[in-house]
Chains A and B, each alone.
Chain A
Amino acid sequence: MSIDLEQFHETFFEESFEGLDIMESGLLELEQGEVDLENINTIFRSAHSIKGGSGTFGFTAVAEFTHDMETLLDQMRNGERQVSASVVDTLLGCVDVLRNMLNAIKDGSEIDVASVADMTNALKSILGEESASSVSTNEASPVVAAKGWLVHFKPELDIMKTGNDTVRLLRELNSLAERVEVLVDNEALPSLVEIDPEECYQSWAINLIGGDVSEDDIREVFAWVDDECELNIEPLADEENYVGTERRDDDRRESKTPDRRAIERRNKPAKASESSSIRVNISKVDELINMVGELVITQSMLSQFGEDENFNETYMERLKDGLTQLETHTRELQESVMRIRMMPISFAFQRFPRLVHDLSAHFDKKIELVMTGETTELDKTVLEKIGDPLVHLVRNSLDHGIEAPDVRVQKGKSETGAIHLSAYHQGGNIVIEIKDDGAGLNKAKILEKAKQNGLIGHDDRLTDDQVYDLIFRPGFSTADVVSDVSGRGVGMDVVRRNIRELGGMVEVKSMPGEGSVFTIRLPLTLAILDGQLIGIGEETYILPVISIIESLQVKPECINAVAGNAEVYRLRDEYIPIVRLYQIFGIEPTSEILNEGLLVVVEAEGKKIAIFVDDLLSQQQVVIKSLKTNFKKIEGLSGATILGDGTVALIIDIAELIDLYQKNMARAVVSIKGGGLAA
C-alpha cells in the first residue's frame, strides 16, 4: 500500500511554524530568568514534534538539525544543564535557522546550508561533542547461520500483562524461516485448580531452518519482550556447516552514517502560500449549523404562502413576520460566518518580544515591551497584512523614538524605555496603538527636511499634527544616519499605503520629550461595510458610515469662497473645505446650488472635508466587491457594491478623496499663478 505523504505536509508546516512560535516565546520567557520546568517541557515538546514529523515526512536535514536542539533541551529539562543566556541565545538562533529551513522546503527553494552548519557547530560546541549523530553504527554485520537456529524462549509469568502474546511471537518466527519446528515445554504448568489464566507457564524450544535468518532478525522479533523473558539463540548444532557466527565488532560500517549536510531538494515551483488553511473552533461551526437550521425553518414557513391560494390579510401579517425573521437570521448567519475568519491579534503581536529583544541588543538600548489586548479579534486577511507595517512602526519607535540609556538618564527618565503595543475595538473598527516614551518627533527637523524635499513651501503654516503627518509622505526620512533597521527613506509612506489598502488609516501624535503614539484604525473585515448611500444626480455613491461626522443643511451665510476657486464652510469655529463630488467624478448633479443640497462632513487621518450631495439615502450594510480585481484600481474609490435593486454603487475612499481634492486644488492654484505670470 503506498500512501502519498505529501498530503500531510501542509499540516506539518502549519504546526511546525506554530511550534517555532511557541519555542520562541518560551525561550524569551526563559531569558527573563523564569526557569519554569513546564515551560522548558513545552519548548522541548515543540522541538520533539518537529523532529518526529520532519523525519517521518522525509525532511532529513530538518530532523538532523532538530536532533541536537532536542538533546540540549532534554539536558535542560533533566536539570543536567544550567539555563544560561548564551544557551538561550543559541536556541533562539536555532529557531530562526529552523524557520528558514522550513520556509525554504515549503517554497521549494534552497536551504541556506552555511547558516545551518554554523548553528549546528554552535550547538555541538555547547553539547561538547564531536559528533552527535544518533545513527547507531556499532551493529555487527548480520550473522547468518547457514543451517539455522535453535531458539530457547522462556517468558516470565506475567508477559501477557503488557499486551504481549506468545502466539504472535511464534507466528512471527514462523514467517522468518523456511521450516520451523516448535517444542513446547509444559513442565511448569500447575494443576488446573492452581492455574492463573492470566499467566504464562510454558516455554518453547524452536528450530528455525533455512531462509537466511540472521540472529538480529530473531532478536528483532523478541525486541519488545527481551526484558520479560529468558532468550537463548544459538546456531543449529552442526559444527562443520555454519560460518560467520563470531561477532566481528571491528567491522563497523562507517559509511552507513548519512551525510549530515544532506539537503532535500524539491523541484516543485515555489507556490504562493496565500491560500492557506484556517483553523476554526468547533463552537463557531456549530453556531453556523444552528443558524442554517433556523433559516431552513423560516424558509419552510415562508414557502407555505406560495402554495396557499386563499391569500388574505392575516397571511400578510404572517408573511411580514416571516420576512423579519428571515432578516434577523440572515444577519446572524452573516455575523457567524464573519467570525470564522476572525483571529486574535496575538498572532501578529507574538513576534514582537523577539524583535524587541534583538533590536535592543543591536542598538544598545534598554526597552521593555508591554502588550495589551492580544485577544482582540480581527479578520485573518487583515491580520496577515498588518504584520509588516506593525514591525516597521515598532522598529521605528525603537530606533528613532526611544533614546539611548545615558541620554534618558540625563533627561531624568528611567534608563529603560517602554514601548506599549495595544489593541482594542472601537465602533466597527479595531484600533492598534504603538506608544513609546521616547523623545517624540522632532518638529524642527521634520519641517527642515520637508522644505528641502519640496514637500511644503517655505512660508506654509502648519499645525503640529500637520507637521507630524509629513513623515507619512513619500521620500521622507529624518534619520541622521541611515541604519540597517530603519531610516532608508522608504518607510512611513509604505506603511500608510499598506494600511490604506486594508481600508484603514494611520495617524501619529507626539509630545516633545514625552514620546509618540502611532494609531492605526482598521476595519474589522474587508468584506462588509456599514454604508451611507448618497445621491448625486442619477448616481448613488456609498460613504463608509465610520468616517461620517455629521450631515447638515447648508446655511448660505456660512459659505466662504477663498482663493483658488475653493470654498470652505464655517462649522462652529472650524473652516472645512467643500468638495463638490460631481466635479471630481465628472457627473451631472441635480443642482449646483449649495443650499439646495446637503453637506456631509467626513474625516480621515485627521483631515475633514464637507461633501456636497443632492440627497442622503438609506444606511445599510454593503458587501464590498473589489474594483481592482474586477475592473481596475480607481483613485478615490475603495470598491463597489450591488444594491437591492441590482444596480452597482461605488464606495468612496475618504482618505483618497481628500488627497484627490488637495491635488486638484494645488493644480488649480498653480494654473492661476501660471495664468498670472503670462498676463
Chain B
Amino acid sequence: MANILAVDDSSSMRQMVAFTLKGAGYQVVEAADGQEALNKAKSQNFDLVITDVNMPIMDGITFIRHLRGEANYKFTPMLMLTTESSSDKKAAGKAAGATGWIVKPFNPDQLLSTVKKVLG
C-alpha cells in the first residue's frame, strides 16, 4: 500500500490527516516541520508527500524545493496544504516543484478524494 509522508506543525491537523489516510489503508509517516520531513524522506521512500506551508525551522515550500532535488523524488506527487487566500503561495509552491495543493479548510472526504486522484 502507498506510503505517505504527512507534514504539519499543528499536531491536530497532522493527527487528522494521518488518521484519515490510515483509515483508508495507507501507510503514513508524520513529521512536524520541513527539516524533520526531509530527514525522513531521505531515509525511506514515499509515494506521496502532503505538507503544510507555514512551519517553523523549515517551511513547506523550502522543503518541497529540497525534496524535488533528490533523485528519488523527481516525479513523486507533493501536495501543499494551503489557505484559499494565498494564491501567491500556490505559485511559489509550484515554482518549487509542488504537484498541487489541497485548500484549507478541508474535510477528510476531500482529502481522501484528492489523494486517490493523485495515487490513482
A168 at the interface (CB under 8 A from B): yes
Q: With A15-B10, A198-B74 given, is the CB distance from A56 to B104 under 8 Å?
A: yes
- Cα distance, A7 to B75, chains bound together (Å): 35
Q: Which of A1, A11, A167 is B15 in contact with, Cβ under 8 Å?
A: A11
Closest CB in chain A relative to B13 CB, distance in Å: 6
Is A168 a contact of B12 with CB atoms below 8 Å? Answer: no
- Bound-state CA distance A55–B10 (Å) is 13
Is B28 engaged at the interface, CB distance under 8 Å to the other chain?
Answer: no
Contacts A45-B54, A161-B75; is A8 near B100 (CB within 8 Å)? no
Q: Is A223 in contact with B100, judged by CB distance below 8 angstroms? A: yes
B75 close to A56 (CB less than 8 A): no
Does B3 sit at the interface, judged by CB under 8 A? no
A464, CB-defined interface residue at 8 Å: no
B31 contacts A by Cβ under 8 Å: no
Given A3-B20, A5-B16, A49–B101 Cβ distance below 8 Å?
no
What is the CA–CA distance of A163 and B78 in the complex, to the nearest angstrom? 7
Are A1 and B112 also in contact (CB < 8 A) when A11-B12, A56-B16, A168-B117 are? Answer: yes
Which residues in A have their C-beta under 8 angstroms from that of B10?
12, 15, 49, 52-53
- Are A45 and B9 closer than 8 Å at their CB atoms? yes
Kindly name the residue among B16, B52, B84, B108 whose own CB sees the greatest number of chain A CB atoms within 10 A. B16
Q: What A residues does B118 contact at CB under 8 A?
A: 168
Query: Of A5, A8, A172, A224, which contacts B99 at CB under 8 A?
Result: A224
B94 and A162 contact, CB distance less than 8 A: yes
A646 to B16, CA, bound (A): 49
Say yes or no: is B91 at the interface (Cβ < 8 Å to chain A): yes
Residues 23-69 of A contacting B (Cβ, < 8 Å) = 42, 44-45, 48-49, 51-53, 55-57, 63, 67
Q: Is the CB of A163 within 8 A of B19?
A: no
The tally of residues in B whose CB lies under 8 Å from a CB in A reads 42
**B 54-78 binary contact with A (CB < 8 Å = 1; else 0):** 1110000000000010000011111
Q: Give every chain A residue within 8 A of B101 (Cβ-Cβ).
A: 224
* Distance in angstroms between the alpha carbons of A8 and B14 in the assembled complex: 10
Contact B16 A8 (CB under 8 A): yes
Given A48-B54, A134-B85, A227-B94, decide whether A3 and B108 contact each other with a Cβ distance below 8 A: yes
Fill in one digit per residue for B34-66: 1 if any A CB lies within 8 Å of its CB, else 0. Answer: 000000000000000000101110000000000
Whether the pair A162, B97 counts as a contact (CB closer than 8 A) is yes
Q: How far is the CA of A5 from the CA of B23 in the complex (A)?
A: 13
- The answer to whether residues A49 and B74 also contact, given A162-B99, A224-B100 and a CB cut-off of 8 A, is no
> Inside 8 A of B20's CB, which chain A residues have their CB?
1, 3
A225: B residues at CB distance < 8 A: 100
Report the bound CA distance from A45 to B8 in whole Å.
Answer: 11
**Which residue of the partner chain A has the closest CB to B10?**
A49
Given contacts A161-B74, A163-B97, A198-B74, contact A11 B11 (CB under 8 A): yes
Given the interface pairs A163-B97, A164-B99, the reply to whether A55 lies near B105 with Cβ below 8 Å is yes
Centre residue among B19, B52, B54, B100 by max chain A CB count within 10 A: B54
Asked if A160 is at the interface (CB within 8 A of a chain B CB), the reply is yes
Whether A52 contacts B97 by the Cβ 8 Å rule is no
Q: Does A632 contact B (CB under 8 A)?
A: no
Q: Please report the C-alpha to C-alpha distance between residue A71 and residue B86 in the assembled complex, in whole angstroms.
A: 11
A15 vs B56: C-alpha distance when bound (angstroms): 15
Tell me whether B75 and A160 are in contact (CB under 8 A): yes
Q: What is the distance, in angstroms, from A679's C-beta to the closest C-beta of chain B?
A: 77
Q: A256 within 8 Å of B by Cβ?
A: no
Task: Determine if A56 and B100 form an interchain contact, defined as CB atoms under 8 angstroms apart.
Answer: no
Complex Cα distance, B81 from A161, in Å, reads 20
A5-B105 in contact (CB<8A): no
Give every chain B residue within 8 A of A172 (Cβ-Cβ): 117
| Given contact pairs A56-B106, A198-B74, A163 touches B12 in the complex (Cβ within 8 A) | no
A168 touches B105 (CB 8 A): no
Whole-angstrom distance between the alpha carbons of A9 and B15 in the complex? 10
- A163 cross-chain contacts in B, Cβ below 8 A: 75-78, 97-99
Residues of A within 8 A of B56 (CB): 42, 45
Cα separation A202 to B97 with both chains bound (whole Å): 21
Q: Pick the residue among A3, A56, A160 that contacts B19 (CB under 8 A).
A: A3
The residue that B13 contacts in the complex, of A1, A3, A56, with Cβ under 8 A, is A56
Cα distance A51–B82 when bound, in Å? 11
Pairwise interchain contact B104-A55, C-beta atoms closer than 8 A: yes
Q: When the two chains form the complex, which single residue of A3, A57, A227 contacts B91, counting CB atoms closer than 8 Å?
A: A227
With an 8 A cutoff between CB atoms, is A628 at the interface? no
Contacts of A572 in B (CB 8 A): none
Task: Bits for B79-120, please: 1 = Cβ < 8 Å to A, else 0.
Answer: 001011100000100100111110011111100100001101
A171 interface contact, C-beta 8 A: yes
A168 to B117, CA, bound (A): 7
Question: Which residue from A11, A15, A164 sits with its C-beta under 8 Å from B100?
Answer: A164
A225, B117: Cα distance in complex, Å: 14
Which chain A residue shows the least CB distance to B86? A74
Q: Which of A2, A7, A45, A67 has the most CB of B within 10 A?
A: A45
Contact status B84-A15, CB under 8 Å = no
List the B residue with the shortest CB-CB distance to A54: B105
Contact pick for A1, options B54, B109, B120, CB 8 Å = B109
B34 CB, nearest partner CB in chain A, Å:
13
| CB-defined contacts of B1 to chain A, threshold 8 Å | none
- Kindly state whether residue A136 has any CB partner on chain B within 8 Å: yes
Task: List the B residue with the shortest CB-CB distance to A227.
Answer: B94
Q: How far is the CA of A71 from the CA of B83 in the complex (A)?
A: 12
Distance in Å from the Cβ of B81 to the closest Cβ of chain A? 7
A12 to B13, CA, bound (A): 8
| Cα of A163 to Cα of B75 in the assembled complex, Å | 4
Q: Are A136 and B117 CB-contacts (below 8 A) given A45-B56, A160-B75, A162-B99?
A: no
Provide the residues of chain A in CB contact with B78, threshold 8 Å: 162-163
In the complex the two chains form, is B16's CB within 8 Å of A49's CB?
Answer: no
Interchain CB contact under 8 A, B54 and A44:
yes
> Contacts A45-B54, A56-B104; is A51 near B11 (CB within 8 Å)?
no
Smallest CB-CB separation from B77: which chain A residue?
A163
| Complex: A8 Cα to B75 Cα, angstroms | 33
A167 to B75 alpha-carbon distance, docked (Å): 13
Expressed in whole angstroms, the Cα–Cα distance for A223 and B97 within the complex equals 15
**Residues of chain A lying within 8 A (CB to CB) of residue B9:** 45, 49
Q: Which residues of B contact A57 (CB under 8 A)?
A: 12, 16
Asked if A1 and B23 make an inter-chain contact with CB atoms under 8 angstroms apart, the answer reads: yes
Q: Are A161 and B97 neighbours in the complex by a CB distance under 8 Å? A: yes
Collect the chain B residues with CB atoms within 8 Å of residue A15's CB.
10-12
In angstroms, Cα B101 to Cα A52, docked, is 14
Among B78, B99, B107, chain A packs the most CB atoms within 10 A around the CB of B99
Q: Which residues of A contact B19 (CB under 8 A)?
A: 3, 7-8
Contact B54 A8, beta carbon cutoff 8 Å: no
Interface core residue of A52, A167, A223, A227 (most chain B CB under 10 Å): A52
The 3 closest A-B pairs by CB, nearest first: A55-B105, A224-B100, A163-B99
Q: List 12 A-B contacts (CB under 8 A).
A: A8-B19, A11-B11, A11-B15, A45-B55, A49-B9, A52-B52, A52-B83, A56-B106, A57-B16, A136-B84, A163-B75, A168-B118
- Known pairs A163-B76, A224-B99, A227-B91. 14 more at Cβ < 8 A? A1-B112, A3-B23, A11-B12, A15-B10, A48-B54, A49-B13, A52-B104, A52-B105, A55-B104, A56-B104, A57-B12, A63-B105, A71-B85, A165-B77
